[in-house]
Amino acid sequence: MSQYILDFLNLKISMKEFLDKVEQDKDLFKELQNLLPTEETISDEKWKSFPFALTLRTHKYDLKEIIKRRFSNGKTPSGKSGFYEFVFKLMLANGFNVSYNDIYHKRFLFLLDILPEYIGGDDRSFTFKC
């Protein structure tokens, strides 16, 4: 397993930096893609409780499509939160011992608390006046 993936999960690498690297580095992309089940293996025991099984089926197990369509390329707080959890759950399902950090989820919830209308928007598009 790539140290780069672990560094991402341990927040040593930003979401943008990680997604840029996944897009540019064919080996890293392939490594992540290979963590995904296929249509043939999705029914295996280790994937039965995988929370993103519907996402995988919907996007035909294609990592590029999943990142783009399900996680908004990691450009929104909800996309960041979801993608981080997706990678974390992939690693767990593949037997890796990884730790979860909830910073992306907390940021997402914070935005929902202060501005519920934000859903689906880019957190940079709002101006706050105090």
Residue given tokens 């399900």 in the structure block: 70
Average of pLDDT values for 18-24? 91
Q: Is residue 49 part of a domain?
A: yes
Residue given tokens 């296929």 in the structure block: 38
Angle at 52 between CA 68 and CA 71, to 5 degrees: 20
Q: Is residue 20 part of a domain?
A: yes
Alpha carbon distance 55, 51 (integer Å)? 9
Q: Which domain holds residue 111?
A: 3-125
pTM of the predicted model as reported, rounded to 2 decimal places? 0.78
| Domains of the chain: total | 1
Q: Is residue 130 part of a domain?
A: no
Q: What is residue 125's predicted lDDT score, i.e. its pLDDT? A: 55
Burial class (CB in 10 A: 0-12, 13-18, 19+), 6: middle
Q: Which amino acid is at 71?
A: F
Q: Is residue 96 part of a domain?
A: yes
Q: Is residue 120 part of a domain?
A: yes
Q: What is the pLDDT of residues 65-113, one digit of tens each?
A: 888 887 776 777 777 888 888 999 999 899 888 888 887 767 777 776 6
Alpha carbon distance 125, 65 (integer Å)? 25
